Homo-oligomer: A and B are copies of this chain.
């Protein structure tokens, strides 16, 4: 990723700052203004992409040529942009952790032009990854002991999104993905059965199952609903017997109809046929609500393939994230736009019985855990690289700690976030100093 993977205004602003030598340290804070409906928490994800982008930030010659011929920038700007790299510091919430509204996912402190330029990329990387990790975590919570497989690749919003969803769902506790390249990139398990087209390409369902069993005796999951599901289960059993496929290699996949009823039928038929270990896989338009329903009904389903609705985070396809300047050259700043008021200053989040949103300059709170940890210093990553396994552990631990009121799927109540006294005082003082209070909004910049 290079420098033009951004909004034009970032480049114009960066150029304007550079012309004036406005290169003092700026801190930007990236957070979700609020949680979408039916979200009691978010799962932080996307940091790895942010750090890669920051490490690599530069404008190559062809980009500068493009800007030269299409924008109103000047020669001096191109020299400065050509030299620009990311030299700043990053504090961030590690991937997999539960975060709440207004809690920074990431704070960047860097010379103002650099910190400004990366806004679009930081928002892009964290917003969807966090949304989809959250969606996947809700699926994980809803599915009790069943295993979950990411089936999202075919309908995610672009190819990147398929990778992001595979990775985010792994953090949230999915055990495999259907997406081969994503499995390869992230060291995940790739999983897959057969499509209806496979069954249809053969003269009969039986013929298709025979071929499949012959070809894949180690992992034989038959898709049984192409024509008639009960008949399909019977055919699967017949073929498994014919080839002597052991029960622990055998499975049937249900992709339509009343999944609970069909799963019960399949379980009974497989058990009676001497395949108590055979797995029942279900898929088809599933999300956390469907999983919770099937779980509550005790549907005997061992594995769920969860696709589109998780992969696009269907009921909350974006988050109301913001990347806001909170301090420049040692001066805390804030925005007063109606409905979009921000709080000033670099922050830390302390997690105890409640979450405490404090200024980073305040002394650490004893007995509280700090959510934001150093991720980059002077443009270089700090410490050993994070792993997906570690992120997954953090996620599992944080989810387990959530009270039921926050983790329930419908109408959850997020945990409280309290602002420290110092943060409240600074916010009030600054609102006053900017000449603006709730009662009397004026802009001190005017004569």
A227, B436: Cβ atoms closer than 8 Å: yes
Complex Cα spacing A43 to B325, Å: 39
Q: What are 13 A-to-B residue pairs whose CB atoms are below 8 Å?
A: A4-B180, A7-B151, A12-B216, A72-B216, A116-B198, A119-B197, A124-B159, A127-B155, A206-B446, A225-B338, A227-B435, A255-B340, A256-B338
Proximity bits, A292-311, B CB within 8 Å = 1, else 0: 00000000000000001101
Proximity bits, A98-112, B CB within 8 Å = 1, else 0: 000000000000001
B contact residues around A26 at 8 Å (CB): 197, 201
Q: When the two chains form the complex, which single residue of B63, B215, B226, B235 contacts A335, counting CB atoms closer than 8 Å?
A: B226
Q: When the two chains form the complex, which single residue of B205, B319, B328 contacts A200, counting CB atoms closer than 8 Å?
A: B328
B contact residues around A402 at 8 Å (CB): none
A445, B204: Cβ atoms closer than 8 Å: yes
A116, B197: Cβ atoms closer than 8 Å: yes
B179, A156: Cβ atoms closer than 8 Å: no
Proximity bits, A414-447, B CB within 8 Å = 1, else 0: 0000000000000000000011100001111111
Complex Cα spacing A66 to B208, Å: 27
- A54-84 at interface with B (beta carbon < 8 Å): 63, 66-67, 70-72
- A10-60 at interface with B (beta carbon < 8 Å): 10-13, 15-17, 19-20, 22, 26, 28
In the complex, the 4 A-B pairs of residues with the closest C-beta atoms, listed nearest first: A204-B445, A8-B192, A158-B160, A9-B192
Copies of this protein, total:
2
- Interface range on chain A: under 10, 10 to 19, 20 to 34, or 35 or more? 35 or more
B196, A324: Cβ atoms closer than 8 Å: yes
Contacts A312-B317, A317-B157, A318-B308 given; does A226 touch B337 at CB 8 Å: yes
B178, A7: Cβ atoms closer than 8 Å: yes
Q: Does A234 contact B (CB under 8 A)?
A: yes
B13, A195: Cβ atoms closer than 8 Å: yes
B contact residues around A128 at 8 Å (CB): 155-158, 161
Q: Does A336 contact B (CB under 8 A)?
A: yes
B256, A339: Cβ atoms closer than 8 Å: yes
- A320-346 at interface with B (beta carbon < 8 Å): 321, 323-325, 328, 333-340
